Structure 1
Amino acid sequence: MTKWVYSFGAGHNEGRADMRNLLGGKGANLAEMASIDLPVPPGFTITTELCTAYYDNGRKYPGDLDAQVTAALTLVEEAVGLRFGDRDHPLLVSVRSGARVSMPGMMDTVLNLGLNDETVLGLSKASGDPRFAWDSYRRFIQMYGSVVLGVDHHRFEEIIESAKIDAGVTEDTALSPEHWQQVVAEYKEMVHSDLGKPFPQDPGEQLWGAIGAVFGSWMNPRANTYRRLHDIPASWGTAVNVQAMVFGNMGADCATGVCFTRDPSTGEDIFYGEFLVNAQGEDVVAGIRTPQPLSKLRAKPGEVSMEEALPAVYEDLVRVRTTLETHYKDMQDIEFTVQQQKLYMLQTRSGKRTAAASLRIAVEMAESGLIDRKEAVRRVNPASLDQLLHPTLDPKATRKLISKGLPASPGAASGIVVFNSDEAEMRAAKGEPVILVRVETSPEDIHGMHAARGIVTTRGGMTSHAAVVARGMGRPCVSGAGGISVDYGAQTMPCGGQVVRAGDTITLDGATGEVFLGSVAMVEPALSGDFATLMTWADGLRRMKVRTNAETPLDAETARKFGAEGIGLCRTEHMFFDPARIGVVRQMIMAQDERGRRVALAKLLPFQRDDFRDLFRIMAGLPCTIRLLDPPLHEFLPHHEAELADVAAGLGEDLDVIRRRADELKEANPMLGHRGCRLGISYPEIYEMQARAIFEGAIAATEDGGAAPVPEIMIPLIATKRELEITRAQVDKVAAEVFKETGRTIEYSVGTMIELPRAALTADKIAENADFFSFGTNDLTQTAFGLSRDDAGKFLPQYVEQGILPKDPFVSIDIEGVGALVRIAAEKGRATKNGLKMGICGEHGGDPASIAFCEEVGLDYVSCSPYRVPVARLAAAQAALGASGDKTA
């Protein structure tokens, strides 16, 4: 019999922290906390395997599940001395999701389950607090009605607002038991009216309804979106945790809260969090009430900290903080409830944090001896470093402050105001910078938050949905900006004495919580301190080198600043788009004969030579892979009358002749047309000019005592051995001529880009004439799949959503197909030439998952865009740790 249910708490701990794949993160950590004697209410976990079986079996449960759930529920009843469904002393439970990785707010939760028209009376009598009992019952109906029965949650809120108006109060806590009874009656009437059947009174029916809702929420749109954004496979499934309720809403000696063992925004080693007196957990994360700080050091005037309000419980919580961080050896995100001065732990997990916090925490924990340096390197998500590599607000810039809220997620962003997540996604898809402004965000806003440059909410605290999700995404966020009033209907936000409308530009600073009108100037980041320390450790652990893709001095200098160890791809055709050069390039392409082409090439030679000299000087003796001309011709052909006339004048030709020539050169499929080495073979004078520019530029780079460059000349679009023989001979011939003319020689190598399936499959033959291989995985992906990356964006998202492809193959390498071609080429190339240098220069060179594959194949280096260099350095170190047998925690 398959074991589907695992108990925890009250001496029945059947799980451990290392069982998160089976029990989910929440279930595994609840069992672990109970095992180290922390106060965990007892309960049980239904495994992630059951979730998979549930979907595989047409959303039906296995026959033995009911008995296992009943047995586990009996253990909970025995532990707390209450009975599920008992009319006098009812056991109430919570039903929560728990995937193996944290997905905050994406799936469904139900609290206070087990209440009905009879048990609410028993709870009222047993607690001695009718208000608490009826408040709990209305919370249950509201949550169950929304999550399980599908009633719009705003309908419930409207009834509460009406009740507060009738009672003449502004806060929920001011409503009497009689008011809550009336709210409950109206809730049930609305549910019955909407669904055509009464609200379920049988606790057993309630329990299975909630369990089904949690499993069902694994496939809801917001969870699907979150998984897609965070590369979480649908096959993992979620667990369901059923746990005895403890109550933070029984009075002034009760509370609920969320805290972090360190500051998740900065990483500072301080206890950080918020709590609410007389509240349940959803009140904190929903931002409905303004939470208060834990410690009095962080309390502002008028705020009462937990340290002051509940000093004994606060001390218990501080001890738990130390215990958990020491036990898990990582910063923890903790949820807790206080019931009548007693602390209960409801969750712990590794806390989501900003990139800056991640670096600081990893470095400080390593330096304190809590973890080692290898673990510190493993701990930081390489992709998150992107948060640190872009500008922040210039402190000297003029700015007009219109509001200030809480600094929920650091970073700065400018963009146009939008009030709707669908619109944010739509405008961002058009390339518009967007700031999403909401009263509060909910899980349904996940797509808009991802599309936006930054997020502003008028309600909520540092642990609200907006704050937690924004930090995880690396989006700057200001929450609780109470000075802003959002009017969704009018599409305006009055603030700072003026009205900001949808489409107006604002700037937010997530590090200070400030919101400014208009755009504010930005400054480049300073990459030092913890960043530099961790990158030094990473560099000492990685095997692969990290180069950059660069054609301009600015790109090269940026990449060197970020630690690039050479140039892995210089796309020489990109050097020709400058307005001063494009006309000459067109003359070269449109020339009728070799003489005309050579005239134009002679004009280009000085430009190319100076470009290469500058790049070689910046790279100061590091290897530089220069790809010879590989333009799809349509990118350079003149398209307008003015452009045609300029070419005609430059060549001294009749305009009609140039028009005919342009028509002759047009191709039906230019990406697979007359480009790459095919141009070099048809017009050898083109590659001869480029080779001369490379060698003369390299020699010039050393004239003032600079380090000798190491040019690696790459022939593009090779499909056959013979193509490389011909083009290599051209390069070697020019090298000999330049060396003779200058009396100087430099070391150089000639290789090719493997970007066609035929080249990969015949790599053993091609390697006979190649000093190196560089895998052009952008084109290799296009040719392997038969896709145009310029057009595939119209349907690839659907392929990923439907599970046809696990990821966009242009973002992360398709290991099964394209990866197989890379592996074949690497093995065949080395079989012919032992020690053949190999690298990857497509955009995959900056993708951590693709870098792990490159380490597995044994490539020598990866090359990526300048701002991705630190990402690649860290990812390469993590890949090396994995390859050497070290495993991530």
Structure 2
Amino acid sequence: MTEKKSIYFFGNKSAEGNGKMRDILGGKGANLAEMANIGIAVPCGFTISTQECNKYYENGNKISKELETEIDKYVKKLEDEIGASFGSEEKPLLVSVRSGAKFSMPGMMDTILNLGLNDKTVIALEKRTNNRRFALDSYRRFIQMYSDVVLGIDHHNFESILEDTKLAKGIINDTDLTADDLEKIVAKFKQIVLRETKSEFVQDIKSQLMGAIEAVFKSWMNERAIIYRKLHSIPDACGTAVNIQSMVFGNMGNTSATGVAFTRNPSTGEKKFYGEFLINAQGEDVVAGIRTPQPLLAEDGKNSMQELMPETYAELAQIFTKLENHYKDMQDVEFTVQEGKLWVLQTRSGKRSVRASVVIAVNMVSEGVITKEEAILRVEPNGLNQLLHPVLDRASDLHVIARGLPASPGAVSGKVVFDSKTAEEMRGNGHEVLLVRNETSPDDIGGMHSSVGILTAKGGMTSHAAVVARGMGKPCVSGCDALLISQHEKTIQIKGTKTIIKEGDLMTIDGGTGEIILGKARTTSAASFAEFDTLMKWSDEVRKIKVRVNAETALDVKTALGFGAEGIGLCRTEHMFFEKQKLLHFRKMILSEDKESRILALKEIKALQIADFAEIIDAMSGLPVNIRLLDPPLHEFVPHTKDEIDEIANYFKMDAKFIEAKAKTLHEANPMLGHRGSRLGVTYPEIFQMQVSAIFTAAISVFKKTAVMPQIEIMLPVIIDKKELKLLVDIVKSSADETLRDAGLEMKYKVGTMIEIPRACIIADEIAEIADYCSFGTNDLTQTTLGISRDDSGQFLPEYQKQGIFEHDPFATIDVKGVGTMIDMAISKARSVKKDITLSICGEHGGDPKSIAFFASLGVNYVSCSPFRIPIARLACSQAAVLVSKN
């Protein structure tokens, strides 16, 4: 590792840093250094390290004198390298200033271009290039960017002047503005600065540079950066680097251009260059969607780079191949052409849809670029949710009103909103919303996160909206120029029609086709594809942990089997009583006056239970079925309202006053810690006896019908003592054996328990003496270990995360230090008694990749999760196995 410094230089095919120094140089700086080292034409510059960002905050939000001295030294080095000087009235040095954290954070801070221009150097630039229009265009861009990013003046102040000028002249594009137009615009821009800041636009070049550097440091703690880090679990301590790079110009006329490209299609994964460029433009014009860009390839449309700049395109294609071979991954590349000379400004691993991620990973294995294990690690498990996104039902009537660019896949419907604040408010009130903007900016990150999808009128496939939506896994349609959006009126008119859509109206977008549909369209599940099946097959070959499903219905079982479930890890029998008719019978049992009437009521319930159990046992076709006996407190099923009480009284011809009185006797102050789970089995053994008899009656019927022997596992919930467990295991075995004996059938089965109380973890060795298996119910174990109710924690846990007390929501990702320690201890104790005992996870954490990585380190046998998280768990388990083998 190179010695840690404050600043690192790069350019002219060499660099002081390298691509492995992401912690110090940030992703952008590391890649600039690496490209220089492998001989790619990168404009010279230097990177201020991420550690200086942290020092800035430690120093009371001030740049230290020591860093300022180092900056001066490296500016001089850059001047010598380029042969130009800051502030020179003959050959002025101009630079760009960009942020660059270790992890890519799109839109953390807008780039500042053309820094070094003032009223004098702009004249020098005009003389050097003999191009007055170019010089003034560069100056107006710099004033606008610097004022927005550093001075905090809303960019719409400047955009309105540009739009008004074009409207007055009857022109559409910025490139149609003359030098005289631009000179007037520059003067108006400076007037805005004076009006908003009470000071003239900064003319001192060093002050410009220091202001820009400080703005980068400040951007690390701005709201949109904080939101992004929270969404992607990026630590605050990473900090951001600052990249100062000599300018190259894509706006010097028709032999100059700027563009953004991917070495493969980021939506589909197809091995084909994919990107856009603009002639006579600067980079922000492409990503901000200010002008509609042109395609790179001739096959993708007219006026392509391949046609208009064939030699430059051929050189760019060679660089794309070189970068992909070097990084062994699809690259996102920014480039500029200055009067025919090609420069690469940045490369990074390109953000892509999960479908593309899977396709690229699998294809790169077949191409011999990476191994199967590397391919498994390339795909983010949680992102597989994208592959389950619905698509439009082509058999239904689709009222397509417009088409844009298919920027991020998936079909969604939502209520139209026009700003991020409204999106967040409506989402908070339970509405699904569709964010519609002319173009998005980094300020929209909160609204984009709150929306089911994003639709923009401007911008291309590499615009801010497209890139961020793909990263979030949200459907997006961009560049739909048929949309005439009025932010003031909060309406959309479809160009050439009388169709008006108002805020709150329903619309549907398909980010895979670019279609925009009026109203809520019907959707269907996304189809599987060959590369996904291949990746899952590879995952299953390497993973050590099995994956089961939490399921109570045949439909859930069928879905789970389609996703590769290897059994049921948790069947919650109480969920089978949610249907109205079943709930009525269950309530009658709860409200029984005595044991005899309760047993009669249980007989009625038994028939319903048998049918339900038979359905799921049959659907599992011989795979393990782990059924948890009744867990929640009876209190949860008691009728509370007069209407509910009257309904039961009328249906079963019972006295309403008796029902009301009985309900009051069953009331519990804290039912989560009350009369539930195994406590019910001890006090009302007839309930558990009925359930066990129903389970084995169902299993026997399935065996007789199919000749497939079921694998039944009976799980006793909320165990707290060895004697309690022994009592209930005896009840279970007695009922099971009697049912099997009456049927004249032998069937092996297991009886285990769910560990979800700290005491059960502490005495896990005693529990293991009796139980055939133990499954950790991490939902309740988290509640009881932390003393926090997950139903109420949303009121205060966000503040705990903000304060750094919890890095993650402990109900989403396992609390390793607390709950994890309890599980670790319990596993050690259980296996000290019974070495081969089966241990598993069946709480929500069983489908969380971060949690799965931890469980893998403890050696659990399987995890169980909801049906649609089965592929996520399979991939996460395989990644854990790969990482263990690598270490």
Q: CA deviation at 1:430?
A: 2.8
Match of 1:56 in 2: 58
Match of 1:845 in 2: 846
Match of 2:879 in 1: 878
Alignment of structure 1 residues 82-93 onto 2, 5 Å: 82-93=84-95
Alignment of structure 1 residues 698-709 onto 2, 5 Å: 698-709=699-710
Distance in 1, Cα, partners of 2:167 & 2:624: 74
Match of 2:617 in 1: 616
Match of 1:274 in 2: 276
Match of 2:134 in 1: 132
Q: Which amino acid aligns with 2:214?
A: G
Question: Gaps spanning 5+ residues in structure 2: where?
Answer: none
Q: 1:342 to 1:666 in 2, by over 3 A?
A: same
Q: CA deviation at 1:384?
A: 1.0
Alignment of structure 1 residues 421-820 onto 2, 5 Å: 421-495=420-494, 496-648=497-649, 653-820=654-821
Q: Which amino acid aligns with 2:853?
A: A
Q: CA deviation at 1:800?
A: 2.1
| Contact 2:13 2:38 (8 Å CA) reproduced | no
| Contact 2:775 2:842 (8 Å CA) reproduced | yes
| Contact 2:24 2:51 (8 Å CA) reproduced | yes
Aligned length: 883
Which stretch shifts more, 356-365 or 520-529? 520-529
Measured against aligned partners, the alpha-carbon deviations of 1:675-705 in whole angstroms (never above 9, x if no partner) come to 1111111101111111111222222221123
Distance in 1, Cα, partners of 2:340 & 2:797: 54
Distance in 1, Cα, partners of 2:515 & 2:792: 40
Provide the aligned C-alpha RMSD in A. Answer: 1.5
Q: Which amino acid aligns with 1:121?
A: I
Distance in 2, Cα, partners of 1:168 & 1:459: 20
Distance in 1, Cα, partners of 2:648 & 2:770: 38
Distance in 2, Cα, partners of 1:474 & 1:665: 46
Matched, 1:238 2:262: no
Where 1:884 maps in the other structure, the secondary structure is helix
Q: 1:461 to 1:528 in 2, by over 3 A?
A: closer
Distance in 1, Cα, partners of 2:789 & 2:475: 34
Distance in 2, Cα, partners of 1:349 & 1:216: 23
Distance in 1, Cα, partners of 2:683 & 2:374: 54
Measured against aligned partners, the alpha-carbon deviations of 1:393-418 in whole angstroms (never above 9, x if no partner) come to 11211111111111111111112211
Measured against aligned partners, the alpha-carbon deviations of 1:204-232 in whole angstroms (never above 9, x if no partner) come to 11111111111111111111111111111
Q: CA deviation at 1:574?
A: 0.1
Where 1:259 maps in the other structure, the secondary structure is strand
Distance in 2, Cα, partners of 1:689 & 1:500: 57
Distance in 2, Cα, partners of 1:175 & 1:38: 34
Q: CA deviation at 1:649?
A: 5.1
Q: CA deviation at 1:585?
A: 0.6
Q: Which amino acid aligns with 1:174?
A: D
Distance in 2, Cα, partners of 1:681 & 1:445: 56
Distance in 1, Cα, partners of 2:481 & 2:165: 24
Where 2:714 maps in the other structure, the secondary structure is strand
Q: 1:337 to 1:687 in 2, by over 3 A?
A: same
Distance in 1, Cα, partners of 2:701 & 2:364: 49
Measured against aligned partners, the alpha-carbon deviations of 1:366-387 in whole angstroms (never above 9, x if no partner) come to 0111111111111111111111
Distance in 1, Cα, partners of 2:510 & 2:173: 31
1:75 to 77, 80, 102: 77
Match of 2:822 in 1: 821
Q: CA deviation at 1:428?
A: 2.0
Which stretch shifts more, 558-567 or 399-408? 399-408
Distance in 2, Cα, partners of 1:777 & 1:102: 33
Distance in 2, Cα, partners of 1:578 & 1:779: 25
Q: 1:363 to 1:508 in 2, by over 3 A?
A: same
Q: Which amino acid aligns with 2:369?
A: L
| Contact 1:264 1:354 (8 Å CA) reproduced | yes
Following TM superposition, where does structure 1 have runs of at least 4 consecutive aligned residues deviating by more than 6 angstroms? none
Match of 1:414 in 2: 413
Matched, 1:368 2:367: yes
1:220 to 213, 219, 222: 222
Match of 2:36 in 1: 34
Q: CA deviation at 1:802?
A: 3.2
Q: CA deviation at 1:11?
A: 4.6
Q: Which amino acid aligns with 1:835?
A: D
Where 2:400 maps in the other structure, the secondary structure is strand
Q: 1:2 to 1:705 in 2, by over 3 A?
A: closer
Distance in 2, Cα, partners of 1:210 & 1:279: 22
Distance in 1, Cα, partners of 2:817 & 2:131: 62
Distance in 1, Cα, partners of 2:176 & 2:456: 26
| Contact 2:13 2:41 (8 Å CA) reproduced | no
Measured against aligned partners, the alpha-carbon deviations of 1:773-813 in whole angstroms (never above 9, x if no partner) come to 11111111111222211121122223223323211111111
Which stretch shifts more, 531-540 or 198-207? 198-207
Distance in 2, Cα, partners of 1:439 & 1:633: 54
Measured against aligned partners, the alpha-carbon deviations of 1:421-477 in whole angstroms (never above 9, x if no partner) come to 222222223332211111111111111111211111111111111111111111111
Q: CA deviation at 1:501?
A: 1.4
Distance in 2, Cα, partners of 1:204 & 1:294: 38
Where 1:315 maps in the other structure, the secondary structure is helix
Alignment of structure 1 residues 179-218 onto 2, 5 Å: 179-218=181-220
Where 2:485 maps in the other structure, the secondary structure is coil
| Contact 2:390 2:412 (8 Å CA) reproduced | no
Distance in 1, Cα, partners of 2:881 & 2:435: 39
Q: 1:83 to 1:884 in 2, by over 3 A?
A: same
Q: 1:538 to 1:808 in 2, by over 3 A?
A: same
Which stretch shifts more, 545-554 or 308-317? 308-317
% identical equivalent positions: 54
Q: Which amino acid aligns with 2:763?
A: T
| Contact 1:26 1:99 (8 Å CA) reproduced | yes
Could you tell me the TM-score, scaled by structure 1's length?
Answer: 0.97
Distance in 1, Cα, partners of 2:135 & 2:65: 35
| Contact 1:620 1:706 (8 Å CA) reproduced | no
Measured against aligned partners, the alpha-carbon deviations of 1:112-135 in whole angstroms (never above 9, x if no partner) come to 111111111111111111111111
Distance in 1, Cα, partners of 2:404 & 2:450: 22
| Contact 2:109 2:149 (8 Å CA) reproduced | no
Which stretch shifts more, 336-345 or 664-673? 664-673
Where 2:835 maps in the other structure, the secondary structure is coil
Where 1:816 maps in the other structure, the secondary structure is helix
Q: 1:348 to 1:717 in 2, by over 3 A?
A: same
Match of 1:319 in 2: 318
| Contact 1:840 1:862 (8 Å CA) reproduced | yes
Q: CA deviation at 1:651?
A: 5.8
Distance in 1, Cα, partners of 2:727 & 2:386: 46
Measured against aligned partners, the alpha-carbon deviations of 1:240-275 in whole angstroms (never above 9, x if no partner) come to 111111010111110000000001000011110000
Q: 1:164 to 1:781 in 2, by over 3 A?
A: same
Measured against aligned partners, the alpha-carbon deviations of 1:745-799 in whole angstroms (never above 9, x if no partner) come to 2111111111112212222222222111111111111112222111211222232
Measured against aligned partners, the alpha-carbon deviations of 1:608-665 in whole angstroms (never above 9, x if no partner) come to 1222222112112211211110123333111222322343456654221211111111
Q: Which amino acid aligns with 1:23?
A: L
Q: CA deviation at 1:571?
A: 0.6
Match of 2:401 in 1: 402
Where 1:568 maps in the other structure, the secondary structure is strand
Where 1:667 maps in the other structure, the secondary structure is coil
